[in-house]
Structure 1
Amino acid sequence: MTKQPKYEYVSSAKLPTRWGEFRIHGFVEASGQEHVALSFGQWEAGDTVPIRIHSECLTGDALFSTRCDCGFQLEKALQNIVEHGFGVLLYLRQEGRGIGLLNKIRAYHLQDSGMDTVEANEHLGFDADLRSYDICKLMLDTLNVSKVELMTNNPRKMDALKSLGIEIIARKPIDHGITKDNKKYIQTKTEKLGHAFDPHVFK
């Protein structure tokens, strides 16, 4: 019996956006979970490619919530890629740092009652961050990317890529979308999850 691959590339197509024309590439896990990569422009093997690993956030990405910075960072990353002339955004379907959409809403309710984002996840019985980045290796290999400039404030993403054999040439901060509604959330990520935000954003 043939063993099903853990991750699989599916197909690609054009994806026009208001920033420019990307290509969208579909990937699937053996579990059935689907993910996509957006690529823009052309590069040669061995080039350093700017990338963003972005975890799905329906409330921020699609519903324009200001209680997180996700939607702002998604837009900024796509703009940065187009301005650079080429790059990749890996969009991973792992809502709420891996706890899922409905559990994220439950966590929001707990945060409305005074818990921070880490306390809320843990109160629901989850780790603070359940995300996995293993599929990024297949995605980047498929797109012929081995060296990257990573747009992130999250050291776990850097560690994950390094463990997968991806060479990180530089980290580009993405301090974007700080609002009165998400400042406490971002400060918690900095203090409890090690995210590298510039201290000025909390003033």
Structure 2
Amino acid sequence: MTHTETDPQRPAPATVRSRVRIPLTFPDGYRVEAEVHTFHGLADGAEHLALSLGTPGAEPPLVRLHSECLTGDVFGSDRCDCGPQLRESVERIAEAGGHLLYLRQEGRGIGLYNKLDAYALQDAGLDTYQANTALGLPEDGRDYTAAAQMLTTLGVDAVRLLSNNPDKAGQLTALGIEVTERVPTGVHLSPSNVRYLRAKVEHTGHSIPLAGLVG
């Protein structure tokens, strides 16, 4: 989903449902404590989480909108770069101060089973976007209205966005959240995700510097 609105339309506010501190430990041994927020009144009714990390400074907080990826985040799949991006984002946000929004948007919004069906089509030669449309589904069905609500509820109206995806910045801006800077993540390249990353660069303009890394 790509939004092109020029006038910000701030969504109705949400409320904080609960806050709990959780110590996080990653497989490589990195440890950090997060304050995890849950919410009432999110536009899509999903159980999204906001992880507040570190201590914000004078600049707008560093924020990542991370879409849930069971295969990458939990099982370590190399077909995408989601797991390494999550690990990187937590550490960088903890250092700078900010929030990681963990959004329940598996498969760019198409769900887990459909994502696995799309993988089968990718094995037959389609790219990640073509596979979604071949299933009669949107290339990217994500809407970040709930993310804007979460940020507003946390008192955030301007962010430095940790993302390679221009649509995330565009949607947040259209929803009344100022994006002062888009900060790219690292390049998490593997033999299994080259086509996936190339499709994101060529099809949706992700700022991933693949030139020189792959032929």
> Structure 1 length normalisation: TM-score?
0.90
**C-alpha distance in structure 1 between counterparts of 2:75 and 2:138, whole Å:** 25
Residue deviations 1:90-132 (CA, integer Å, cap 9, x gap): 1110100010000000000111111111110000001110001
What residue identity is the alignment partner of 1:197?
Answer: I
Q: How much has 1:12 moved relative to structure 2?
A: 1.1
Is the CA contact (8 Å cut-off) linking 1:58 and 1:95 kept in structure 2? yes
Name the residue aligned to 2:174. Answer: 163
Name the CA shift for 1:6/1:165 in 2 (closer, same or farther; >3 Å). Answer: closer
Unaligned ranges ≥5, structure 1? none
What is the aligned length?
A: 197
Q: How much has 1:135 moved relative to structure 2?
A: 0.7
Unaligned ranges ≥5, structure 2? 1-11, 26-30
Name the CA shift for 1:113/1:7 in 2 (closer, same or farther; >3 Å). Answer: farther
User: Given the alignment of the two structures, is residue 79 of structure 1 paired with residue 79 of structure 2, yes or no?
Assistant: no
**C-alpha distance in structure 2 between counterparts of 1:60 and 1:145, whole Å:** 28
- Which secondary structure does the structure 1 equivalent of 2:212 belong to? helix
After the TM superposition, which segments of 4 or more aligned residues of structure 1 sit over 2 Å from their partners? 5-9, 27-32, 41-44, 199-203
- Listed as ranges, the matches of 1:93-112 within 5 Å are 93-112=104-123
Is the CA contact (8 Å cut-off) linking 1:47 and 1:145 kept in structure 2? no
Name the residue aligned to 1:25. Answer: 37
Name the residue aligned to 1:173. Answer: 184
User: Given the alignment of the two structures, is residue 62 of structure 1 paired with residue 74 of structure 2, yes or no?
Assistant: yes
User: Given the alignment of the two structures, is residue 138 of structure 1 paired with residue 149 of structure 2, yes or no?
Assistant: yes
**C-alpha RMSD of the superposition:** 1.8
Q: How much has 1:166 moved relative to structure 2?
A: 1.1
Q: How much has 1:43 moved relative to structure 2?
A: 3.6
Name the residue aligned to 2:5. Answer: none
Is the CA contact (8 Å cut-off) linking 2:15 and 2:153 kept in structure 1? no
Is the CA contact (8 Å cut-off) linking 1:150 and 1:172 kept in structure 2? yes
- Calculate percent identity across the aligned residue pairs: 44
Is the CA contact (8 Å cut-off) linking 2:61 and 2:98 kept in structure 1? yes
Name the CA shift for 1:41/1:62 in 2 (closer, same or farther; >3 Å). Answer: same
